[in-house]
Amino acid sequence: MLTNSFLISNQIPSLQYSSTTERFDDTWEAPLATLLGLGRAAGADFVEFFLERRNYISCLAEEDIITGISPSLSTGAGVRVFRGQTDCYVSTNDLTFAGLKAALEKGLSIMGLQLPGPTAFIPEINLELLRDYASKRGKDSWLPLCSSIQEMGEILLDGTAQLQKKASHLQSRRASYFRDWQEVLVAGSDGTFARDIRLTQSVAVNILCADGANRTSISERAGNTSDPNFLKTWDYQQSAEHIAESAGKMLYADYVESGNYPIIMANHFGGVIFHEACGHLLETTQIERKTTPFADKKGEKIAHESLTAWDEGRSDNAFGTIDMDDEGMPAQKTLLIEKGVLKNFLADRAGSTRTGHPRTGSGRRQDYKFAAASRMRNTYIAPGEYSNEDLFTSIDKGIYCKKMGGGSVGATGQFNFSVDEAYLIENGKITKPLKGATLIGEAKEIMNKISMCSQDIELAPGFCGSVSGSIYTTVGQPHIKVDSITVGGR
């Protein structure tokens, strides 16, 4: 929506703006509105500015020594220019009016547009009143409340000391932590004007154990948004107990025999397979690339009727929780699959423009150097109607995948994932530990074999890389039964 206030193009070089440099507030409205109007006057269909300040630090403890502290400060902005279904993105470290104008001019030139002549009228864009999620929720106080560098080191060393106490046959032990504080401001020629602060933290522990030819490596990660006291309240003793127990069982485990098995996948990080093998295929970027088998399946059955799945940005403190996405759209809860039927795709602005699917508040990016793209937030399989006992008693011989490791996924959903902690199921009971298991399959097949979902859903933090960089996400599920899957082993 445009105001009744107009500028002449040759007046713009003489404009003076005094935007606050310490924070993104409503003093940025006037310069951004002018620049957005300049872009529209040049012939762009839509223009968006994304401004960011970032304060990041990580700390690493190995054995009983702090071996790394890595701080990083950055400030920058990106401008995205749309013309029809085509767009381009330009980033800059110069947040002065002249610097932002130069980035806009570069973006316009890439799209075959140029700044209007000296006598052209430049309408200012009428931006909404600033939607300030940071001020509304008291986020401006978060950064000073976070752990100091000294406190980070002390807590991590306490964590590695607990690993020494709890685990046997240790070869190495590590604890790591990072804190990522980010302030963003989004302004668009559709009137969008919104600010937010994000605080993401994570702590992880890892041990390598060996006894002769027997070796095992086990890790555990916790993550949080929105709690400055997260590291101070981390229960490192419990984390040490968990991975020491797992390592003790896996160190002398037998190797799994290759074959096709029914499996039970645990809750928590077990949801990584749905995220990787199916979630990515429901992003509009995959439709644009023609790399998803589900592109024309909306409203059709793509999974077992027991499976319902969501993606949302609202769960308290979850790793992928956001009050707004990186295009200024409020967080939403998006039903992906309902009783096996595909209901929605995840769409950012560009994806919506090019595919016709509605925006879902899923436009996310690593930082100002990346254009936003359709990305997952908190993605999980919903609780079902069965108990864990129901799942186990339904299997005569199979494998319980308690802790998932890393893996890889092909462009159209082919995947393989290692299992860090697994057990043989015989006659409905867990009998002995197994190691060396790898799950191999294809998304469009595995989704139809998830026949039972338990009720004990848990979420886990994760990191997701794609076209707009690395972002923080949540995976999750209850315990689930997969009727048959290829398991690689010995």
> How many Å separate Cα 322 from the centre of its chain?
10
Angle (CA) 77 80 81, round 5°: 145
What is d(CA 355, CA 84) in angstroms, rounded to the nearest whole number?
A: 13
According to the model, what pLDDT value does residue 6 have? 60
| Strand 429-435 relative to strand 450-453, pairing | unpaired
Q: What is the pLDDT of residue 18?
A: 74
**The CATH homologous superfamily of the domain defined by 139-185+196-254:** PmbA/TldD superfamily (3.30.2290.10)
Q: Is 211 helix (H, G, I), strand (E, B) or coil?
A: strand
What's at 239, amino acid-wise?
A: S
The answer for residues whose C-beta is within 8 angstroms of residue 416's C-beta and 6 or more apart is 407, 408, 438, 439, 440, 441, 488
Rg of the chain on CA atoms, in Å: 25
- 10-residue stretch averages of pLDDT, the chain, 490 residues long: 55 73 92 94 97 98 98 97 98 95 97 86 90 97 97 98 97 98 98 98 98 95 96 97 96 96 96 93 96 96 97 94 98 97 98 98 98 98 98 98 88 90 98 96 93 97 96 98 94
Q: What is the C-alpha separation between 67 and 29, in angstroms, rounded?
A: 44
Kindly list the distances between the CA atom of residue 334 and the CA atoms of 216, 309, 353, 443, in Å, as whole numbers in the listed order: 39, 9, 18, 20
What three-state secondary structure class fits 325? coil
Distance CA 209, CA 245 (A): 12
Q: What's residue 413's pLDDT? A: 84
* Domains of the chain, residue spans: 2-55+73-135, 139-185+196-254, 259-488
- Closest to 326 measured CA to CA, from 309, 336, 313: 313
Pairing of β 429-435 and β 414-426:
antiparallel
Amino acid at 164: Q
The CA-atom distances, in angstroms, between 335 and each of 154, 173, 302, 309, 346 are: 43, 41, 14, 6, 10
Backbone angles phi, psi at 165, to 5 degrees: -75, -35
CA angle 141/144/150 to nearest 5° reads 155
pLDDT at 5: 54
pLDDT score for 14: 64
Q: What is the pLDDT of residue 1?
A: 36
Residue count (the chain):
490
366 token code pair:
């690593």
Cite the beta strand spans of 382-437 per DSSP E. Answer: 397-409, 414-426, 429-435
* C-alpha pair distances (Å), 397 with each of 414, 433, 487: 25, 14, 13
Identify the H or E element spanning 150.
Answer: helix 149-166
The predicted pLDDT at position 171 comes to: 97
Whole-angstrom CA distances from 192 to 19, 50, 231, 326, 332 are: 18, 11, 35, 11, 17
Q: What is the DSSP letter of 382?
A: P
